[in-house]
Structure 1
Amino acid sequence: MLHLRMISPPETTDPVLRVLADEPGVTHITCARGVAIEPEGDLIQADIAREAANEVIERLKELGIEHTGGLTLVPVETVLSDAGDRAVDEAPGDPTDAVVWEELLAQTHEESSLNSTFVAFLTIACLLAAVGVATDSPVTIVGAMVVGPEFGPLAAFSVGLVRRDWALVRRSAVALLVAFPVAMVVTLAATAIWEQFGWITLTGVEHSNNVDFIYEVGPFSLIVALLAGAAGMLSLVTSKSAALIGVFISVTTVPAAGFAVVAATVGKWNIAMMSVGQLAVNLSGIVVAGVIVLELRPRAGNDVGPVERCKQWLGMTSKVEKVNWVEK
């Protein structure tokens, strides 16, 4: 479930309470009038089943709560309440299938911003990838994969496409289009210095047999990118953050960028171009998979996903839900 906390001006409080009371997926409604100081107003709290959250939020936004007051939404890990159980049961769909769009937009908005921290992490990851190539070390390459922060803007790009939020799409694209060149230029300068010391050589790059998978583009490059992108988006919408580690070490986005730089410094332009191709395939595959996952999941508060529809027809859900689905 999700815990909803609002500050509402007095003239809007009663309509807000009606919205909450009319939704069977909402429970534990409380109201403390006149206690809010900044902004002034009434404090309203409630618990909402994830499946009902989108519809409730949309109706509250129609009342202008986000402009005249404020709205905070946080996940609730444990709820011991018969009323809470009823709210989850009466809300259409399954909690794990529900995409709470405002929650997802808030997450991806933060991850998609171009800032010094994002550029620093990406630069460090590219430098690690260059060291991994120079030392033929798969372990270092894996470290570069984990450090790389590029999945955030890629996920935001997918969300922006699905929601037709072109500002989010532009912000995500700018973050990637600026940060990657900056990281690669810094890595280029570092590798040029290392080459002068003899730490990076043409022979070493040509015999990097343990990390040559980075630039070898093939059908499985796209398949892995699609699977990783799907797993990453699922981890975001279901708050399963542990799965993101698997995503980070599955795709060779940052290592491909690092390998392209190292190969270019020693004059291996064919390997450099193959690495750039690998980078493009991985970035595109992650975005496409993210869009597909979001399109297949419920799009509104009273929608259900394809899995839930099958469960309904197999008699695994309530009669009320089945009637609602038939009416649609």
Structure 2
Amino acid sequence: MNRLRVLCPDAADGLADRVLAVLHAEPGAVHVVRLRGAAVDPPGDVVEADVAREAVDEVLETLRDLGCAERGGMVLETLDTVVSAAADKAEEATPGEGIDAVVWDELIARTGQQARLSVTFVVMLTIACLLGAIGIVTNSPVTVVGAMVLGPEFGPLAALAVAVVRRDGPLARTAALALAAGFAIALVVTALAAALGDAVGLIPDDTLTNLSGVEFVYQVGPFSLVIALLAGIAGMVALIAGEGSGVLVGVFISVTTVPAAGFAAVAAVLAEWPRAASSLVQLLVNVAGIVLAGVIVLLLVRTSRRRRGVPESLPGRGAGG
């Protein structure tokens, strides 16, 4: 279940009454509450309801058509536990399963927030690349896996997939900028660190001759794309279902985006150009595979909704950005 709160300003004549009519007509909405005069800025009423996740997208679309987003505002929260016979009946009366339902506003807001080029994103990506480079130099698969887990790149990749399906130019540009600038900075910093390590003798000359434990980082093959596609599918399904970080950690460990970037930086410093190029290809294959998989999942979800006759909401461009 989701808790929906709608702000209905006094200036919007009869908006609260129309919101109540929508909620009363929706079998998946229960525990409807109207708080008269509770809103302060702008002044007006507040309407709340618990809505079965399967019905949330349709309800939001209807309320958007009423002008609730422009005149007042709508807030959606996920409820972990609801003990209510009425809520159980509401979920039974709503077609589909809540875990399979896509709430586009929620998905766009979540991915949009993760797609921004922020100091935190750049720092985490750079540290992950440095860890990947250390894992290469020390031939340590454990350190390479740590770099995979730490890398924050899945957020912008998922945002790119959402932007493609929704034809959201601003979100696509935001995510692309985060990926391009973030990886560029991480690569430069990692290369500088590798050059310093080479200068002081921390990187032996034969570093790249014995890579039995981490060869998968730069060796590109058919399974590179297969793994990226499977990881992208799992990651997007986890985002849609609102699963916790456990599934996404498994996704991070599956792909070699960050370690490939770290390997490319080290190989370039050591003038191992073929391996540096192979690592960059590995990076591009993983990025393309994850985005492609995300697009496929979202298109399949949208197609299934249309076949069931459920209207697709069209949230404003750049929502959550």
TM-score calculated relative to the size of structure 2: 0.92
Cross-structure match for 1:206: 209
Of residues 270-279 and 164-173 in structure 1, the stretch that sits farther from structure 2 once superposed is 164-173
Does structure 1 residue 141 correspond to structure 2 residue 144? Answer: yes
Cross-structure match for 1:7: 7
Cross-structure match for 1:42: 45
Does structure 1 residue 256 correspond to structure 2 residue 263? Answer: no
Alignment check: 8 A CA contact 1:2 1:75 kept: yes
Structure-2 change in CA distance of 1:36 and 1:301 (3 Å): farther
Q: Please list, as runs of the form range in 1=range in 2, the aligned pairs for 1:1-328 lying within 5 A after superposition.
A: 1-10=1-10, 11=13, 12-241=15-244, 242-298=246-302, 304=308
In 1, distance between residues paired with 2:162 and 2:299? 10
The structural deviation recorded for 1:175 is 0.6
Unaligned residue ranges in structure 1 (runs of 5+): 306-328
SS at match of 1:78: coil
Kindly provide the CA deviation profile for residues 135-164 of structure 1, in whole angstroms up to 9, marking residues without a partner as x: 111111011001100000000000111111
SS at match of 1:104: helix
Q: Partner letter of residue 177 of structure 2?
A: V
Alignment check: 8 A CA contact 1:253 1:282 kept: yes
Structure-2 change in CA distance of 1:212 and 1:202 (3 Å): farther
RMSD: 1.5
Structure-2 change in CA distance of 1:303 and 1:44 (3 Å): farther
In 2, distance between residues paired with 1:39 and 1:201? 66
Q: Partner letter of residue 288 of structure 2?
A: S
In 2, distance between residues paired with 1:43 and 1:156? 32
SS at match of 1:240: coil
Matched residue count: 305
Alignment check: 8 A CA contact 1:54 1:301 kept: no
Of residues 48-57 and 247-256 in structure 1, the stretch that sits farther from structure 2 once superposed is 48-57
TM-score calculated relative to the size of structure 1: 0.90
Q: Partner letter of residue 219 of structure 1?
A: P
Q: Partner letter of residue 131 of structure 1?
A: I
In 2, distance between residues paired with 1:205 and 1:41? 67
The structural deviation recorded for 1:298 is 4.5
SS at match of 1:29: strand
In 2, distance between residues paired with 1:28 and 1:301? 26
Kindly provide the CA deviation profile for residues 37-73 of structure 1, in whole angstroms up to 9, marking residues without a partner as x: 1221101100111111111101111122122212110
Of residues 196-205 and 127-136 in structure 1, the stretch that sits farther from structure 2 once superposed is 196-205
Q: Partner letter of residue 134 of structure 1?
A: V
SS at match of 2:80: coil
Structure-2 change in CA distance of 1:70 and 1:301 (3 Å): farther
